[in-house]
Amino acid sequence: MPEISSRFDGLGVGFAPYLQPPGPEVVRWTVGEPGFSTPDEILNAAIKELEEGNTKYTRGAGSMELCQAVADYLSKHHDIVVTAEDVVVTPGAKQAMLYSFLITTMPGDEAILLAPSWASYEPMLEFIGAVPVHVPVRKEDFHPDLQAIRDAVTDKTRMILLNSPCNPTGAVFTPDEIQGILDIAIEHDLWIVSDEIYSRMVWVDWPHVSPAALPGGKERTIVVNGWSKSWAMTGMRLGFLTGPRNAVKAAVKSQANSASHVPTFMMEAARVALSCDDAVMKFNREYRKRRVMMRDGLSALPGIRVVEPEGAFYIFADITGTGMSDTEFADGALEAGVQLIPASLVTGGEGFIRVSYATDEEAIEEGLDRLRNWLLDE
């Protein structure tokens, strides 16, 4: 049997080992997926398109109507001013990330990640031969250490990856921090890839700010975003990117040579979703409640320190006070009937666990009860 290429040697799969569905008796706090159904308006739009036979090849970057709706959405919610031609709709934000990495790096080039970061960035960069350079965030609040980022820039650095609100830490970088990172990128002529998939989920009183909305930011920032999180559309695989014209042209080529385009009948559904603000606000009201339940419940457990979760739907908790390593803690929790993620699976996450409060209130209450019984019995 022929060998597969060495490209896959040692390639990670992120949090995958801990995302396997456990038995039905286990409470799952692992999956970064909204516990809500996709809103009916969106489903109905997709069904109507199917019934009308919109199942053939179409414009690679997405229908003009959809790209225009994305441009309008970005201007309305995030002060990012682009035209429909500057938007490429992709199969999930994940694919847009891959295009962004291909566009900003060559094999051997360095990309700065703020550690701990989302588990897919590192393997995705390694997959294409780029070199992830992990710069730790401040452990007390998971905000960026600007001096450390500056110190990590070498003559091989091409890109800084931003993800605010952040998976896994829940940090929302302040406008000044975003400006500080942009200043470093301008000074060293670097790209910024800004993963803004959680941009509507901010629970603090400073706003999400995109570097693309700041002076000097638009020409060096590729913004990645998508429908999975705020509209509960994870399985529909819809994301997008926008950026300067040369980057968008390269993204169009990347898509033409890989996915072609997202399913034609989903384009209208994605367009409809962008105006479903009521659904986004309804989900957000629930997340705010669940965040407080999870934060207060975990904080009351012995040996666990919870850093204030500022955005997205994750809590990143320091469990070193329990005397266990994060994998021992996750294994013990699973035995107690709660699935959560030991953060040492990603660089810089040692001693922390990640829990998602996107799950329903019952699962939060039940999981907290189980952890309480387990930890108080120890």
In the complex, the residues that contact ligand PLP under the rule CB under 6 A are 32, 92-94, 118, 163, 167, 195, 197, 226, 228, 234, 239
Q: Which is nearer to ligand PLP, 163 or 339 (CB)?
A: 163
Q: Which is nearer to ligand PLP, 195 or 326 (CB)?
A: 195
Q: Which is nearer to ligand PLP, 92 or 132 (CB)?
A: 92
Q: How far is the CB of 130 from ligand PLP (least distance, A)?
A: 17
Q: How far is the CB of 168 from ligand PLP (least distance, A)?
A: 8
Q: How far is the CB of 343 from ligand PLP (least distance, A)?
A: 14
Of 263, 242, 239, whose CA–CA distance to 92 is shortest?
Answer: 239
Q: How far is the CB of 236 from ligand PLP (least distance, A)?
A: 9
Q: Which is nearer to ligand PLP, 212 or 375 (CB)?
A: 212
Q: Which is nearer to ligand PLP, 94 or 143 (CB)?
A: 94
SS (H, E, C) the chain: CCCCCHHHCCCCCCCHHHCCCCCCCCEECCCCCCCCCCCHHHHHHHHHHHHCCCCCCCCCCCCHHHHHHHHHHHHHHHCCCCCHHHEEEECHHHHHHHHHHHHHCCCCCEEEEEECCCCCHHHHHHHCCCEEEEEECCCCCCCCCHHHHHHHCCCCEEEEEECCCCCCCCCCCCHHHHHHHHHHHHHCCCEEEEECCCCCCECCCCCCCCHHHCCCCHHHEEEEEECCCCCCCHHHCCEEEECCHHHHHHHHHHHHCCCCCCCHHHHHHHHHHCCCHHHHHHHHHHHHHHHHHHHHHHHCCCCCEECCCCECCEEEEECHHHCCCHHHHHHHHHHCCEECEEHHHCCCCCCEEEEECCCCHHHHHHHHHHHHHHHHHC
Of 334, 363, 375, 358, whose CA–CA distance to 17 is shortest?
Answer: 334
Q: Which is nearer to ligand PLP, 233 or 272 (CB)?
A: 233
Q: Which is nearer to ligand PLP, 89 or 324 (CB)?
A: 89
65/14 Cα distance (integer angstroms): 35
Q: How far is the CB of 97 from ligand PLP (least distance, A)?
A: 6
Q: Which is nearer to ligand PLP, 333 or 358 (CB)?
A: 358
Q: Closest residue to ligand PLP, Cβ-based?
A: 92
Q: How far is the CB of 12 from ligand PLP (least distance, A)?
A: 15
For CA atoms 324, 327, 331, 336, give the dihedral sign: positive
Q: Which is nearer to ligand PLP, 30 or 63 (CB)?
A: 30
Whose structure tokens read 């110190």? 151
Q: How far is the CB of 270 from ligand PLP (least distance, A)?
A: 11
